[in-house]
Amino acid sequence: MSVTEFIKDKILLIFLHMGCMVLLAAFLRLTGYQRDYCSLILICWCLILAVWLSVQFFLRREYFRKMEAVMDRLDQRYLLGELMPQSFRLEDQLYRALIRSSNKAVIERLRHMEDEQREYREYMESWVHEVKAPITGIALYCENHRDAGSRYIAAENRKIENYVEMVLYYARSDEVYKDYMIAETDLQETAEEALMKNKYYLIRRGIRAEADCPDQVFTDKKWIEFILNQLLLNSAKYSREKNAYIKISTERLERGVLLKVKDNGIGIPGEELSRIFEKGFTGTNGRDTERSTGMGLYLCRKLCGKLGIGIRAVSREGEGTEVILEFPVSSHFSGFRS
pLDDT > 70 in the chain, percent: 91
| pLDDT score at 336 | 39
Strands 216-219 and 310-316: unpaired
Least confident of 39-48, 141-150, 231-240: 141-150
Segments in 205-274 forming alpha helices (H): 221-237
Task: Give bridge partners of residue 244 from the DSSP assignment.
Answer: 207
Q: In one letter, which amino acid is 87? A: S
Mean pLDDT of the chain: 82
Domain boundaries along the sequence of the chain? 3-105, 185-337
Average pLDDT over residues 195-215: 87
pLDDT > 90 in the chain, percent: 12
DSSP category for residue 238: T
User: Is pLDDT at 86 greater than 80 in this prediction?
Assistant: no
CATH number of 185-337, picked from 1.10.3720.10, 3.20.20.70, 3.30.565.10, 3.40.462.40: 3.30.565.10
> Cα–Cα distances in Å, from 255 out to 46, 214, 252, 314, 338?
71, 17, 8, 21, 14
Strands laid side by side in the 207-212 sheet: 207-212, 244-253, 256-263, 320-328, 310-316
The torsion angles phi and psi of 110, rounded to 5 degrees, stand at: -65, -40
The torsion angles phi and psi of 246, rounded to 5 degrees, stand at: -135, 130
pLDDT tens by residue, 258-288: 999 999 888 888 888 888 888 877 777 666 6
pTM over 0.85: no
